[in-house]
Each structure stands twice: as C-alpha cells, then as structure tokens.
Amino acid sequence: MISPPYRGLKWCMGTDNPPPPDVHVDARAAPADLATLDALARICLIAQRQGLTVRVDNVSRELRELAGFAGLDDVLPLRG
C-alpha cells in the first residue's frame, strides 16, 4: 500500500508475513520543519502501536539536525 504524499513524505507498507510488515517512509521531498517532525513522530508512534517497524529513508541533513535539536534523533529511525 502506498500513500499519497503528505508534507513531501511518501510511505508504504510491506506485505511480507511473518515478520510484521515494515513501514517505509521516503522523506526526499519533505521540508526540514517541525510539522514534518510531527508527522514522522506520529507515523512512528502509530506503527509501533501496531507492532510494525519503521524506516525513514532519504532524510536531509537539515531534517536530521532538526530532529537532534528537538531531541527526537533517538526515537526517529532516520537514514540519509
């Protein structure tokens, strides 16, 4: 399942069972702002409550730095 873009984020869920499917987020077009961090944190929280793992790819340096400044770098699985 692939979502429509939200704030430049595109996400899809894998369908391999077991293990539980992963949620893949492509943040390539996402702006480096607090609204994007909020959206990513919500996606991660909802996925974790469902027993899913999350991977956020193509994260800009600016967004990673903002996540660190906000104290979210340890809870958001951000990859460059």
Give the tens place of pLDDT for each residue, 16-60: 555 556 788 889 989 999 999 999 998 888 888 888 888 889 999
Whether 17 is in a domain gets the answer yes
Dig out the tokens for 64 from the structure: 């990673």
Whether 74 is in a domain gets the answer no
| Residue-range definition of the domain harbouring residue 28 | 10-69
Residue keyed to tokens 């069972």 = 17
Residue 18 in 3-state DSSP?
Answer: coil
Whether 3 is in a domain gets the answer no
- The four Cα atoms 39, 43, 46, 50 give a dihedral, to 10 degrees, of 180
Number of domains in the chain: 1
Name the band, by pLDDT with cuts 50, 70 and 90, for residue 64: very high
Whether 5 is in a domain gets the answer no
Whether 29 is in a domain gets the answer yes
